[in-house]
A and B are shown apart, each in its own frame.
Chain A
Amino acid sequence: MSAIRESLLKDLTPEIEKTGRTWYVVFGIFLLIFIVGIYGLIQQIDKGHIVTGMRDNVVWGVYIVNFIFFMGLSYAGALVSGTLHLFKTPWRAPVIRIAELITVISLAIGPFFIFFCVGRLDRLPYILAFPRIQSPIVWDVIAILTDVFGAAIFLYISFLEDFAILRDNEDLQILPWKKKMYRILALGYQGTEKQKRILSFSRNVMAAIIIAIAIIVYSVLAWIFGVTLQPGWHSTIFGPYFVIAAIFSGVGLLIVLMAIFRKIYNLEKYITLKHFVNLGIVLFVIAAFFGYFTFSDYLTKWYGSVKMDKILIDKLFTEFRFYFIVANYIGILTPIIIIAIPRLRTIRNITIAAIIALVALWVNRYIIIVPTLETPFLPIQDTRADWLWYSPTWVEWSLTAAGIAVFGMLFMIISKIAPIISISEMEEAEEKRKQNQLTGEHHE
């Protein structure tokens, strides 16, 4: 067994073997939040959607914001992991497992927020029974199904070698059902030449496809808004804009989760400052692009004199002023500044930059959706405050929290089944490094 494998197994297997009390406590807290969310959902099903803050004009609120946000997080695995894999970036090894997990889990959670927003949950199968392919929602359903399936295959391929390693590991003190599970999931992988070749090729194919699918999925999502005529939505930049925002949020979450796992599993040896800085630079570049797209979108709206655009911009600069500053100034400039200045590049600062970016992106989605719906072509003439202005209720917030809780719970469960750092990838990276060293020495 190679040195790196031994060291990794020593550090990671304790988590798979036994569960500490902290794990149960944290899981319990998540579960509690989840139950509160379910209670909110039951209220909504029982009393109708009137318990949310949505009314006849702002018909899409926090649920759709969460949906777009979670789908955007999925870019961590899709674009980051896929691209890093195709470019054979050497430092990718410790982080891609986390990235791919983010993709699958956020793709699993995201669609639930659409279900919450739909008025008749009992009729949801109608989308599959009577689909109209002229509808962007049907495009979205097809795209997401394809994306989930592809991400799952991609994740499984990356897990395969690790399952084989765990299966072969005699010292593992685990329950027999887990051992059996590893054996089945390892698919008889022995590490033969042929198997390695097939696996590597499949991995490359999936990485390429996943990147393409991810871009299509998010563009389709953007076009749900783009094809309507509403002021603020009918923008040609929406497709690329949403894609860039998604990469931004994916990288941000990856950095945050890297920091968390590094702390709780003591992985300082493997996930180092270098990883944070490298991903931080990616964050920096994407933040710059994102800022450019945002500026471009708002500049053209503000400069032109179209009445509806002007009403919308006025609303953004007055009623949503605070949100606008958080999303488009703080959210873009803070990561850029922190990462641009070398002295500020510490793990803690970069993680803070990533957290700010995530929050800012959520707010950014909010100010894309809600102000437009509050300024329809025919002005809302009503006396009730909740029909004029949207304010989310506890039901919507509780379900948002439940979504985040489920995210946490799923990650915690997965970490009990498989190592959070890809052992096989680390081995491969180590081998490559040694080879380069040898060839380098040889050349000298």
Chain B
Amino acid sequence: MKKNKEESSSRRKFIRNLGLGLGSAAVAGSAAIAREPAEPDSGEKVMLLSSDGKLVEVDRSAIRVAKARTKEEIKKSYKGLPDKKFVMVIDLAKCKNARKCVDACQEGHMLPKDHEWIKIYLLQDSEMASKYWFPKPCYHCDNPLCVSVCPVGATYKREDGIVLVDNKRCIGCKFCMTACPYSARVFNWKDPEVEVPRDHVYDPELNIPPVEGTVGKCVFCADKLRVNELPRCVKACPMGVIYFGDINEDAVTNGVETLRFSSLVHDKQGYRHMEELGTAPSVYYLPPVNRMYPVEIGFEDLDESISERYTPHDVKKPKKNDR
């Protein structure tokens, strides 16, 4: 069973590494036939490897259709939703590290368990101040350093403020990861081995599946925003910690209550993390005052592999190699 997977995985890699780029077209190609042949059969047949490792014979026109559809999706993702500028407000007074946002995000974007597009830190600003839980998605900055340094334009900022990654163009140089001061991006170090539905066409807004050797990050669930639905983390949070909305409409909602963005940030002294870096993030935080729960609640029912993250480790590397 494992051998088959490795075999098919290495076969997939082989085709991909040859740069034919037909691997993805194969998935879409075999599906394009199933769905609707937009072009008449050219009669010319091509042998392709389908996503489940089988060789299929596909009409050449179907590949063109699939490739064209992928290109269309990518082009569409460059245009943001008109007249909108998205903003997020995270209420640190309510967060208790339930991690439902992390789970929902990983499920929605088919992420492997160790990839977190929204991370939850345990921060302490100064020694006398208290610790607090700090959910951190990508901030979709208005002055995004990650976009500035990308050599091939694989990451881009749209008019509605969302910064996306085109996993079909990313070369994996990881410059954006060193440029981002908030460690918002993750890298696919190995094949994530994720099965996508047969007729799936890649689009950067939903951004599945994760592609080996490229960068991934929170996309503010741009696919959901297109149908006026809230991002997955916003809906999943049981405490209603994350508010999301359009800054032009001056309203943010956490799925339960809707508030005016300007009054929320004004009344509760909303701030942006490390404002002095000048990146102009689109995520505001409400300070952890008058907390709903003590910090320790966040450790309850927590898997040990996660709770151990927050115990401060030595600055020095451990002597033995425990990898």
Residues of A within 8 A of B (CB): 45-50, 54-57, 59-60, 114, 117-124, 126-127, 129-132, 134-138, 141, 224, 227-230, 314-315, 318-319, 373, 376-386, 388-389, 391
Contacts and interface: CB of A to CB of B under 8 A. Distances in A.
Give the size range of B's interface with the partner: 35 or more
Contacts of A130: 152-153, 169
A377 B181 contact: yes
Given A119-B172, A382-B309, A230 B178 contact: yes
> Top 4 A-B pairs ranked by shortest CB distance?
A119-B172, A119-B213, A48-B190, A137-B151
B300 interface: no
Nearest to A317: B315
A384 B274 CA distance: 27
Contacts of A47: 190
B149 A227 contact: yes
B78 interface: no
Nearest to B277: A229
A9 B290 CA distance: 88
A56 B277 CA distance: 22
B316 interface: yes
A383 B303 CA distance: 12
Given A130-B152, A141-B151, A314-B315, 14 more contacts: A47-B190, A59-B174, A118-B171, A119-B170, A119-B212, A119-B214, A122-B19, A123-B172, A132-B152, A135-B151, A228-B181, A319-B315, A319-B317, A389-B317
Determine which residue in A135, A373, A376 has the highest number of CB atoms from chain B within 10 A of its CB, and name it.
Answer: A135
Nearest to A124: B171
A378 B121 contact: yes
A376 B317 CA distance: 17
Contacts of A132: 150-153
Given A120-B213, A318-B315, A126 B181 contact: no
A383 B121 CA distance: 13
Given A48-B213, A135-B149, A60 B174 contact: yes
A315 B121 contact: no
A137 B121 contact: no
Contacts of B309: 381-383
B189 A378 contact: no
Nearest to A233: B178
Contacts of A134: 148-149
A382 B308 CA distance: 8
Contacts of A391: 317, 321
Contacts of B188: 48, 119
B116 to A, nearest CB: 10
B183 A126 contact: no
Contact of B181 (A48, A127, A376): A376
B145 interface: yes
9 contacts: A55-B189, A56-B183, A123-B170, A124-B171, A138-B151, A229-B179, A376-B181, A381-B122, A385-B323
B305 interface: yes
Contacts of B323: 384-386
B239 interface: no
A401 to B, nearest CB: 21
A378 B136 contact: yes
Contacts of A129: 152
Contacts of B173: 114, 117-119, 137
A314 B315 CA distance: 8
B191 interface: yes
Contacts of A117: 173-174
Contacts of A48: 188-191, 212-213
A315 to B, nearest CB: 6
B2 interface: no
Nearest to B14: A46
Contacts of B274: 377
B76 interface: no
A319 B18 CA distance: 42
B186 interface: yes
Given A126-B152, A141-B151, A389-B317, A230 B10 contact: no
Interface in B185-203: 186-191
B148 A388 contact: no
B177 interface: yes
Nearest to A129: B152
Contacts of B13: 45-46
Contact of A377 (B16, B153, B183, B215): B183
A136 B149 contact: yes
Nearest to A380: B183
A211 B122 CA distance: 51
Contacts of A386: 323
A383 B305 contact: yes
Contact of B171 (A127, A229, A376): A127
Nearest to B307: A383
A229 B145 contact: yes
A126 B155 CA distance: 13
Nearest to A139: B151
Contacts of A55: 189
Contacts of A384: 323
Contacts of B181: 228-230, 376-377
A253 B174 CA distance: 30
B83 interface: no
A417 to B, nearest CB: 34
B313 interface: yes
Determine which residue in B189, B214, B322 has the highest number of CB atoms from chain A within 10 A of its CB, and name it.
Answer: B189
B190 A50 contact: yes
A48 to B, nearest CB: 4
Contact of B150 (A50, A59, A135): A135
A385 B305 CA distance: 12
Nearest to B182: A378
A241 to B, nearest CB: 18
Contacts of B40: none
A131 B152 CA distance: 5
Contacts of A319: 315-317
A383 B304 CA distance: 10
Contact of B178 (A60, A314, A318): A60
Contacts of A379: 121
Nearest to A133: B151
